[in-house]
C-alpha cells in the first residue's frame, strides 16, 4: 500500500526537529574518504558535500535552528564550517563512536530539553534521495503519523532487485484505518543470502531498511528505556549533570564511552511493538561503494563512468574518480580507478565492497597519513 498524501494532523513547524547522523568513517570510499574527511564530507553525488545536501533537503521541512547533527569530535569543527546556517550548539560531537542507539538517544535528550512535544526525523548524512518534493511529502506524513499514533516510524524502500547488502523489513497490515498508508512492522530481517533476497523480492511484502526514522522524542526515549535499560541509565546520568542548558564536555567525555555500543535497529526497532513502516515514494540509495556512486555519474557509450575528463580506447564498464586529473584507459574492462593525489586505488568493479580491507591493512601498518 502506498503512502497517502494527507495533511491530517500536520505537525506544526516549531515542533519539528531533524537529526542527521554524521559520525561514520566511510572506509569503502578510500582513498578519498579519510578519518578527518569521511564520506559524508565528500562531494560524491552533487557539487555540495553529502552532509550539506542532506541539510538542504530538510530546509522546506525544518527550521535550521531545529536541525541537529551528531558527528565525531575529530571533525566537529569542520562540520560547523560546512554548515554555517546551523547554530554551533546544534553540532553534537561524540567523544567516541557508540553506534546509532546512543547517537539517537543523546540527540533525543537534547531535543526534549528544548521542546517536550517535539517530533523528530532521523537521517543518515550520506544517502542520496530524490525527488526532493516526494521526500518532503513522505517526511511530512511520517512526522504526522509519529505524533498522532506515538509509534516508531521507519521509511521502507520497495526493492527493485534482490539486494544482499541491505537489511529488510516485512510489513503487511495497515496501521489503524489505513488512511496514512503506514504498515505495522511484522519483523526486521538481517542482510539475506542471494536466494533469500530473491524470495523477499517475489513475496512483495518486504522493504529495504533505509535507516531513516521518525518519532516523538519522548517516545523513542521510552523505547530505549524499555529495550536498552543500560543505555537509558547512562543517558539519564548525563542528563542529570546538565548545567546551563548543556551537558558539560567533561561529563560527556567520561560518560559517553561507557554507553553500550548498539544500533537502534537491533536494540530497539527489532523488539518494539509500536514499530511501523511508511513505504517511501522517493528514490533512495545509500551509495555504499564506488561502484554504487558511479551509477549517479554520466556514462559514455561503453559504460565508462566519470565526472572528469576521460579517454577510453577499447575500454568498457570502468569507473574513474580522479579529482579533475585527465585519465586515459586502454583495453581494460570493469575497473575502478580512484586518485586522491597521495594514494591511488585500482580494483575490479565487482570487488569495491572490499576496499575497507585496504583501510584495515593501512591501519595495521601504521600508515596514519593515509587513514
Domain coordinates in residue numbering, the chain: 13-285, 290-370
Look-up of cell digits 484505518: 177
Are the C-beta atoms of 334 and 349 separated by less than 8 Å? yes
pLDDT at 5: 44
CA atoms 161, 162, 166, 169: torsion sign: positive
Reported as a single tens digit per residue, the pLDDT across 91-112 is: 999 999 999 999 999 999 999 9
CA angle 104, 109, 113 (to 5 degrees): 145
Please, what are the averages of pLDDT over each run of 10 residues along the chain (371 residues)?
54 98 93 95 93 97 98 97 97 97 98 98 97 97 97 98 94 93 96 96 96 99 99 97 93 95 97 98 94 92 96 98 96 98 96 95 96 91
pLDDT at 3: 47
pLDDT at 179: 86
Peptide bond into 129 cis (omega under 30): no
CA atoms 132, 135, 139, 145: torsion sign: positive
**Could you tell me the CA-to-CA distances from 277 to 19, 151, 280, 284, 345 in Å, in that order?**
19, 10, 9, 15, 39
What is 13-285's CATH superfamily?
A: Spore Coat Polysaccharide Biosynthesis Protein SpsA; Chain A (3.90.550.10)
Q: Which residues, listed in sequence order, are joined to residue 177 by a DSSP beta bridge?
A: none
* Residues 179, 282: Cα–Cα separation, whole Å: 19
Are the C-beta atoms of 15 and 119 separated by less than 8 Å? yes
E strands present in 126-274: 128-130, 152-157, 168-174, 183-189, 206-216
Half-sphere exposure of 307 (CA within 13 A, CB side): 17
pLDDT at 25: 86
pLDDT at 8: 55
* Residues 188, 197: Cα–Cα separation, whole Å: 13
pLDDT at 9: 75
Amino acid at each position: 500500500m502506498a503512502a497517502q498524501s494527507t495533511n491530517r494532523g500536520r505537525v506544526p513547524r516549531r515542533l519539528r526537529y531533524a537529526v542527521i547522523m554524521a559520525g561514520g568513517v566511510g572506509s569503502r570510499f578510500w582513498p578519498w574518504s579519510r578519518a578527518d574527511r569521511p564520506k559524508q564530507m565528500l562531494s560524491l553525488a552533487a557539487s555540495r558535500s553529502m552532509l550539506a545536501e542532506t541539510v538542504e533537503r530538510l530546509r522546506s521541512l525544518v527550521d535550521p535552528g531545529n536541525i541537529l547533527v551528531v558527528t565525531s569530535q575529530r571533525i566537529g569543527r569542520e562540520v560547523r564550517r560546512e554548515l554555517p546556517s546551523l547554530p554551533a550548539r546544534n553540532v553534537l560531537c561524540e567523544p567516541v563512536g557508540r553506534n546509532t542507539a546512543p547517537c539517537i538517544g543523546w540527540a533525543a535528550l537534547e531535543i526534549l530539553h528544548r521542546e517536550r512535544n517535539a517530533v523528530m526525523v532521523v537521517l543518515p548524512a550520506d544517502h542520496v534521495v530524490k525527488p526532493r518534493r516526494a521526500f518532503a511529502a513522505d517526511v511530512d506524513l511520517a512526522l504526522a503519523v509519529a505524533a498522532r499514533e506515538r509509534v516508531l516510524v521507519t521509511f521502507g524502500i520497495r526493492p527493485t532487485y534482490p539486494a544482499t547488502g541491505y537489511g529488510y523489513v516485512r510489513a503487511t497490515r495497515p496501521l489503524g484505518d489505513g488512511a496514512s498508508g503506514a504498515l505495522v512492522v511484522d519483523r526486521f530481517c538481517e542482510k539475506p543470502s542471494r536466494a533469500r533476497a530473491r524470495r523477499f523480492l517475489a513475496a512483495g511484502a518486504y522493504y529495504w531498511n533505509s535507516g531513516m526514522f521518525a518519532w516523538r522524542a519522548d517516545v523513542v526515549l521510552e523505547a530505549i528505556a524499555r529495550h536498552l535499560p543500560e543505555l537509558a541509565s547512562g543517558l539519564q546520568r548525563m542528563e542529570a549533570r546538565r548545567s546551563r542548558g548543556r551537558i558539560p564536555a567533561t561529563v560527556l567525555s567520561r560518560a559517553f564511552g561507557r554507553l553500550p555500543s548498539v544500533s537502534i535497529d537491533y536494540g530497539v526497532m527489532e523488539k518494539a511493538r509500536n514499530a511501523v513502516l511508511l513505504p517511501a515514494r522517493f528514490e533512495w540509495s545509500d551509495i555504499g561503494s564506488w561502484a554504487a556512486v558511479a551509477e549517479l555519474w554520466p556514462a559514455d557509450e561503453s559504460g565508462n563512468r566519470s565526472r572528469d575528463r576521460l579517454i577510453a580506447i577499447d575500454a568498457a564498464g570502468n569507473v574513474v574518480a580522479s579529482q579533475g586529473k585527465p585519465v586515459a584507459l586502454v583495453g581494460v574492462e570493469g575497473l575502478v580507478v580512484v586518485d586522491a593525489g597521495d594514494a591511488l586505488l585500482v580494483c575490479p568493479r565487482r570487488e569495491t565492497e572490499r576496499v575497507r580491507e585496504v583501510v584495515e591493512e593501512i591501519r595495521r601498518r601504521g600508515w596514519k597519513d593515509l587513514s
